[in-house]
Amino acid sequence: MSPVAVWSWVLGIGALGLVVDQVTKAVMLVVLDPAHPIPLLGGLVTLQLLRNSGAAFSMGEGFTIGLAIIAIAALIGVLAWFVPKVRHPGWTAAMGLLVAGISGNLADRLFRDPGPFQGHVIDFIQLPYFAVFNVADMCITAAAVVVIWLTLITKVGFDGVPFADAAPEAGADAGPTDE
C-alpha cells in the first residue's frame, strides 16, 4: 500500500470508530439509567451505564490525568512511529482501530465531566463475569486481535514482508566451517 493510502485508511477507520463510539455514548447517556440496566439476549448482554474514571476493569481510579496523558502519548506514538512504517492492509486496519479506540476514550477524558483531563469514560456494554466496556474498547481489542493474527499466524511485518525464518539456535550445527 502507498503511504497516502495507508494514512487515508488509518485516519478513515479512526474517524469512523471515533464517531460511532461518541454517538453510541451520547445515545446511552440519554436512554440508560444507571440504576436500571437493560438485559438483552436473555442476559448475555446487559446495557449498564457506568462512568469510569480509571482504566480497564476500573483500575487506576484517581489517576485520570495520568491516563489522559498516557493516551495522548500512545496516540502520538501510533501516528508518528507505527503508521509511517505500515504498508500492509492488515496492519493498516489494526492501526486505524487503535486510533479509533484511543481517541474515543481520550475524548471522554478530555471533554466529559468532571472536567478536562479528568473526564470519566462512558461504558455501557456488559457481558457476564466481565468488565463493562464501550465501542472504543472494542476497537482496541479488535486491533489487538488483528496484531496477534498478523504476528503469530500470518507472520507478516508492517511493511507486508513475511518475517524471516527464526535464527538458528545457539550451539546448533551452523554448517561447514573453514577449519
Active site residues: 123, 137
Cα 119 to the chain's mean position, in Å?
19
Gap between the Cα atoms of 41 and 45, Å rounded? 6
Q: What would the grid cell of residue 117 be?
A: 483531563
Listed in sequence order, the residues at least 6 apart from 68 whose beta carbon sits closer than 8 Å to its beta carbon are 106, 109, 110, 117, 118, 119
Handedness of CA 13, 19, 25, 28 (dihedral sign): negative
Q: What would the grid cell of residue 44 be?
A: 448475555
Three-class secondary structure assignment of 51-92: EECCCHHHCCCCCHHHHHHHHHHHHHHHHHHHHHHCCCHHHH
